[in-house]
Amino acid sequence: MHAITIPEPGGPEALVWTEVPDPVAGEGEVLVEVVAGAVNRADILQRQGFYNPPPGASPYPGLECSGRIAALGPGVSGWTVGDEVCALLAGGGYAEKVAVPAGQLLPVPEGLAVDQAAALPEVVCTVWSNVFMVAHLRPGETLLVHGGSSGIGTMAIQLAKAVGARVAVTAGIEEKLERCAELGADILINYREQDFVAELERATDGAGADVILDNMGAKYLDRNVRALAVNGRLAIIGMQGGVKGELNIGALLGKRGAISATSLRARPLEEKAAIVAAVREHVWPLVAGGHVRPVIDREIPMPDAATAHRVVEDSGHVGKVLLVTPD
């Protein structure tokens, strides 16, 4: 088979489409013939040499994919060869085939083409696990999503609206805010021109956000705490704004607030399987019913993954950028 390899860390040109050995489905795994993968910020970090796969994972980038089951490993039940699936991965999505633990498989939702389903696993599992399983967003509460036009952001907007929450988003240009509004966002904040703390306070009559989904990390830490409502929950899922920030514990105590910080890639298989099962139970009916849909900016041939990385790094996209395997 062919896969995107990284002979030496570097810029997008470091991604090389080359022939590599086929993976084999081990105990409890299935072999998926990949139709499409999706680009995530973690893939860019891996390409740059900053985010290696966990031990035992595929060395190739790619944290999600969709395709068809080509083979079942020992001990796998409930799936058959030919099933159309999408999968949460620790690596290997930028390839023609990938071995996946069966607990990280999901059926392609009704109404979606198999390639479109590649836009779902990583973002849905990230949003559901952080916003709902950890931060416990409830109907009537306010969710603030930083980077509302990203793959994570566009999914968070839809899921929060589906459960009856109010959604505030930040984005850097008006066109992106307009797309967020089309998905259901109620409060639109241009972070280049507006102070999100002040704007959120104004829009919520001083209450603030019950839950904040943050991809920035250190840069936003102090302002996020100030933006929290009493009993608010801050869920940190990224470090685009740095890794070290100063926390005003007094302010956090005053809000009776909570901060969680999670990653998905290196979690134990049992934890990933539990998240995937929760997603299948709670989110897949919303997707099948048309209430939640993946937002796909464009599809790019997988051998040209360098172009896809440039698109994501330039932040000119809305939603997900997919990589499609050659016919």
DSSP string for residues in 210-263: EEEEES-GGGGHHHHHHHEEEEEEEEE---TT-S-----HHHHHHHT-EEEE--
How do residues 222-263 score in pLDDT, each as one tens digit? 999 999 999 999 999 999 999 999 999 999 999 999 999 999
| Alpha-carbon gap, residue 300 to 317, rounded angstroms | 13
Task: Count other C-beta atoms under 10 Å from residue 180's C-beta.
Answer: 28
| Alpha-carbon gap, residue 325 to 282, rounded angstroms | 30
Question: Considering the chain, what is the average pLDDT of its residues?
Answer: 97
Q: Determine the longest span between alpha carbons in the chain, in angstroms.
A: 59
Mean pLDDT of 39-46: 97
Strand partners, 259: 234
Name the band, by pLDDT with cuts 50, 70 and 90, for residue 115. Answer: very high
Q: Is the full-model pTM beyond 0.85?
A: yes
Sequence-distant (6+) residues with CB within 8 A of 253 are none
Place of tokens 């797309």: 179
Exposure string for 199-211, b = 16+ CB within 10 A, e = fewer: bbbebbeeebbbb
Mean pLDDT of 5-34: 98
Give the angle subtended at the CA of 267 by the CAs of 221 and 92, to the nearest 5°.
105
Whether residue 327 has pLDDT greater than 90: no
Measuring CA to CA, which residue among 83, 124, 140 is closest to residue 294? 124
- pLDDT for position 215: 95
DSSP state string for 173-199: SHHHHHHHHHHT-SEEEETTTS-HHHH
- pLDDT for position 231: 98
Exposure string for 91-127, b = 16+ CB within 10 A, e = fewer: bbbbbbbbbbbbbbbbebbeebeebbbbbbbbbbbbb
- Amino acid at residue number 247: L
How do residues 14-27 score in pLDDT, each as one tens digit? 999 999 999 999 99
Contact 212, 155 (CB under 8 A): no
How do residues 144-180 score in pLDDT, each as one tens digit? 999 999 999 999 999 999 999 999 999 999 999 999 9
How do residues 277-306 score in pLDDT, each as one tens digit? 999 999 999 999 999 999 999 999 999 999
Mean pLDDT of 83-109: 98
Look up residue 118 and give its two tokens: 């590649």
Provide the 8-state DSSP code for 99.
Answer: E
Mean pLDDT of 121-149: 98
